[in-house]
Every structure is written in structure tokens, then in C-alpha cells.
Structure 1
Amino acid sequence: MLPGQRSKQRWIAALDALEPDLVVNTGDNLAHKQAVPAVVRALGPLMHRPGIFIFGSNDYYAPKPKNPVRYLLPSAKKKRIHGIKLPWRDLRAAMIERGWHDLTHVRKIVSVDGRNIAVAGVDDPHLRRDRYQQIAGRPDPTAALRLGITHSPEPRVLDAFANDGYDLVLAGHTHGGQLRIPGYGALVTNCDLDRSRARGASRWGSHMWLHVSAGLGTSPYAPVRFACPPEASLLTLVPRTNGGEAAKPNTRFGARADVR
């Protein structure tokens, strides 16, 4: 988010009309040292709803000018080029003040519409700040949903969530590839995730869902998307059924839920 992006701020604020039960913010909110008020203004209407969040690389560091071609090279995954440090602590304080939960290396139970959701998150794996061992272990088996969040969908983190028995992991970071070729898909994911999963829902292992949002952003130095429109994702989790029968009231969400 840049301070002057008023239309984007209004669009995000209008998402509250969708009446989500839970708002999940997977990071990369900032791109400018003065963007915190703009982000808080955009998210303001949503902040009266239950919310969880983590941060991404562009919350910690501003983007820098760089050759876009480098993202197509293998070395792009190894060499990080950071800009100035950004005021992520101010954004964190504003989110917490309004009742959202920071899940940076935290696991807890969040109540949503009378149901308990076991949630956990890691710091940004793209910056290698993830410390999954701090949240490792099986989540509450009685929870209606076991939900993990990460900014960058790195396979090492997804495997850890799956091995611990999470039902669903939500991520961002990829911009859906940002540049997509019709019939081919994303050129890159800017992480170790395969291109076929650059956006949308997919299975990860035998029981876990992964959803990667293409998000709203671009770098201010490469403000272009092709065949990959910006998006905010509204997911509907459907209770697991047994042999096509209607779900019972206490059925746990997620393990065989449809993610739409």
C-alpha cells in the first residue's frame, strides 16, 4: 500500500460488505514508510470483525528498484535486496489495539461465531524468519478448524503444518505469479512453491488444503500485472460430510471441506 492509493483503500474498506466471519491478513501491507495510516484506514471497517495476521517482507523492508528479469533467474531465490526498514511495529500496534491477533510464532484458540478455531502462524519464510519449532505440535483436536497462516508458502513450512495435522493453510506472497501466460500460468512464484499453485486452492498431502491468494499488490517499481488481476479471497468452508449425508452440528470443518 502507498499513501496515495485512495481507490485501493476504498475498495478494501468495501470488502466489509461481504460480512466475513474471520479476516486473515497474510502480510505485505506496507511499501512505504508513511503507509501505516493508509493501511489502517483501508482495513478499518474490517477491524470490528475477528482477525488474525502475520507480516511479510514488504512490511519489514520497502521495495527497491531492481531488474524484473532477475525474478526469472534461480539466483533470485537466494539473494535478497532490501530497501529501508518500515514501521511494521506501528502497524502491529494498530491491529492489536483493534482486537486482531498477531500469530507470529503463536498458536492459540480463536472463537468465531461460537466455534473454536485452532490457529497458528510463522514469520515470513521468504526472509527465513520462520521458526516453526516455536509452534510445533498437534493443534487442539476438538477445534472446528485447524488453520495455519504463512506469508510465503514455502514447502518446508507447509510440510510442517501438514505433519502436525492442520486442515488448511492460507498464504500470499506470490502475487499469483503477477505475470501469467494464458494456457501456461505463472512464470514464477518467487519462492520454492511450484508454479501450478501460484494462486488458488489445492491439496497439500493427503488431508490439508492450501490456499494462496494472488493479493492486490505490485512493487511500486513494477506496477504491472498480466492475466492476473488483483484479488481479495473470500473462502467458504463447508462442513465435512460422511458418505454424502448432511453434516452433524459438531462436525469439524476442514479435513474434507470444500474451499471455494
Structure 2
Amino acid sequence: MKYLMRIGLAAVALLLHMGRNAFSEKLVQKTIELPTYKAFKPFNLLFIADVHRRRIKAELIDFQVDVIVIGGDLVEKGVPLERVAENIKNLRAHAPVYFVWGNNDREVSEDALRKIFVQHDVVVLDDKSVSLFNNPQLRLVGLDHFAYKPDGLKNAFSEVTEQDTVVFVSHTPFDFWKIKRPYSAQLLLAGHTHGGQIRIGPFGMFKKGSIKYKNNRIELITNGFGTTTLHLRLGAPAEYHLLTIIPETKVDE
């Protein structure tokens, strides 16, 4: 009987721990150098993805940020639009906001979401790019993966040149392999996998979120800020990222 009680208490403690992990607010900070042909002023980019059902508190951002990128799954079925609007409002109070669609976002009314985005001046990167800080050679490129458009990637990079410094964002990291000639990016951002969400040691449905340097570029896959289905996390805590991006001096202007 005592043995069963111990197992029960351990299970309850584990569930409480997983619940705390699911609603944690871990800020990951990283300084990143990006090569450039035209010098740009260092800036802080906030990347947050997979918000799902969570609330983004007004006090979540208590640091300087110059641009905010939402990497998809801001919302899912059943989330009130008022919560979405409040989350956007709390982000937009700090910096310009850019958004790419995730696989769950269109579970609510797309028209209603777009109205919220227009109201708060959120730029939707549905297969397109924008210049940042009036620098035509510093570009943010967004792919609407789940629209499944045959020319989506081509349209997203249509205004990008070989000498541009590019930050690429898609909801899913499974688009990273597509970023090869004639397309290129120095920094790639994605979410979607939740880092496996529940991991047993090194094992999980997906790899744990990470920042990796490979093939002369940087790939960031976040664990995500929220959860879906099971609002529990183990071994892949909820997180969001503050990237301080500076120009690499090795490339001639």
C-alpha cells in the first residue's frame, strides 16, 4: 500500500512539474553575427512561436526590442479572438510585429485574424519579404507553408538579391532544406515541433529546440511558447527568444 502511495505521489509531483514547465516563460538570449554588404545598426529581434492557448502578459517584455516575429500558431480552435487581440496588443506596444501562418491559425476565422492584424499594424508575411529599418539589403522573408502554394517559395524570395542579408521564417523547420540555391538566408527561424513537448531523457517525438550553426548559416528551432492537446511539458520547457543581431565585419560593405 505504501508503495502504491509513493508511486501516486511521484506521479502527482511529475504532473505538477510538467504543468509548470508548460506555463513557464523562459527567455533565451543570443547574440548573432550576420554577414552583410551594407552595414546595419545592431538590433534586437524577439522571436515567439506556438502561442496556442496562452496569454502573453504585458510584462513579458521588459527589455529593449526593435522587431518582433511571430512564427505561427498564434492561435488554435477554441481560443477567443479577444485573447488573440490582447496578445497582439501587448506585443505591438513594444515594436513592429511580423507574422507567418502556422498549421493551427486557420482553425479560427482567417478574416477575423486579418482584421486584428490590420487594427494593430501587424505585417503578415504570406510568401513575401520586407526590408527592415529602411535598409533594402536587410530583409525578412516569410513563407506560408500550410497554404501549399506551388510558387510560395519563389514568391517569398522574388525581391531578394544575392547581396541581401536575409532572415527567413517559416512555421515549420521542415522548410529549411528548401533554402538553397537560388535561395539563401543567413538566419532561419521556425517552431512547430514544440521540441517534442514531452521528452524522456534524450527521446522525444521531435528534437529539442536549438540554435545550430551549419552550412554557413544559423538555424533556430524553438520549443515554442505554448502547448497543444496536452498542456504539459517535460524536457522541453516553454521558451521565447531575444536575438541581438549585429553585422559581421568580415564582409566588405
TM-score (normalizing by structure 1): 0.67
Secondary structure, counterpart of 1:235 in structure 2: strand
Work out which of the residue numbers 197, 200, 211 in structure 1 matches 2:210: 200
- 2:235 is aligned with what amino acid? A
Match in the other structure for 1:237: 245
Cα distance, 1:16–1:116 mapped onto 2, change above 3 Å: farther
Report the more deviating stretch, 170-179 or 99-108: 99-108
Match in the other structure for 2:200: 181
**Cα deviation, residue 129, structure 1:** 5.4
Are residue 218 (structure 1) and residue 227 (structure 2) matched? yes
Are residue 168 (structure 1) and residue 187 (structure 2) matched? yes
Secondary structure, counterpart of 1:226 in structure 2: coil
- 2:212 is aligned with what amino acid? S
Overall identity of the aligned pairs, in %: 22
2:198·2:234 contact (CA, 8 Å) conserved in 1?
A: yes
Q: Spell out, residue by residue over 1:97-122, the C-alpha distance to the aligned partner (whole angstroms, 9 max, x if none).
A: 3222111111232327x786312111
1:9·1:39 contact (CA, 8 Å) conserved in 2?
A: no
Q: Spell out, residue by residue over 1:72-126, the C-alpha distance to the aligned partner (whole angstroms, 9 max, x if none).
A: xxxxxxxxxxxxxx123322221233222111111232327x786312111135x
1:139·1:165 contact (CA, 8 Å) conserved in 2?
A: no
Secondary structure, counterpart of 1:99 in structure 2: coil
- The whole-number CA distance in structure 2 between the counterparts of 1:229 and 1:47 is 25
Work out which of the residue numbers 97, 102, 123 in structure 2 matches 1:101: 123
Q: Spell out, residue by residue over 1:22-76, the C-alpha distance to the aligned partner (whole angstroms, 9 max, x if none).
A: 1000111112344221022123132141221111111122xxxxxxxxxxxxxxx
Considering fraction of residues, name the structure with more strand.
Answer: 2
- The whole-number CA distance in structure 1 between the counterparts of 2:216 and 2:231 is 37
Gaps of 5+ in 2: 1-51
- 1:177 is aligned with what amino acid? G
- The whole-number CA distance in structure 2 between the counterparts of 1:43 and 1:30 is 11
Are residue 45 (structure 1) and residue 90 (structure 2) matched? yes
Backbone CA RMSD of aligned residues: 2.7
Secondary structure, counterpart of 1:234 in structure 2: strand
**Cα deviation, residue 213, structure 1:** 1.2
The correspondence of residues 38-117 of structure 1 with structure 2, limited to 5 A, is: 38-48=83-93, 49-61=95-107, 86-111=108-133, 117=138
2:56·2:90 contact (CA, 8 Å) conserved in 1?
A: no
Work out which of the residue numbers 18, 24, 34 in structure 1 matches 2:69: 24
- 1:217 is aligned with what amino acid? G
Count of matched residue positions in the alignment of Structure 1 and Structure 2 = 199
- Which structure ranks higher in relative contact order (CA pairs < 8 Å, sequence separation ≥ 6)? 2
Cα distance, 1:115–1:19 mapped onto 2, change above 3 Å: farther
2:72·2:171 contact (CA, 8 Å) conserved in 1?
A: yes
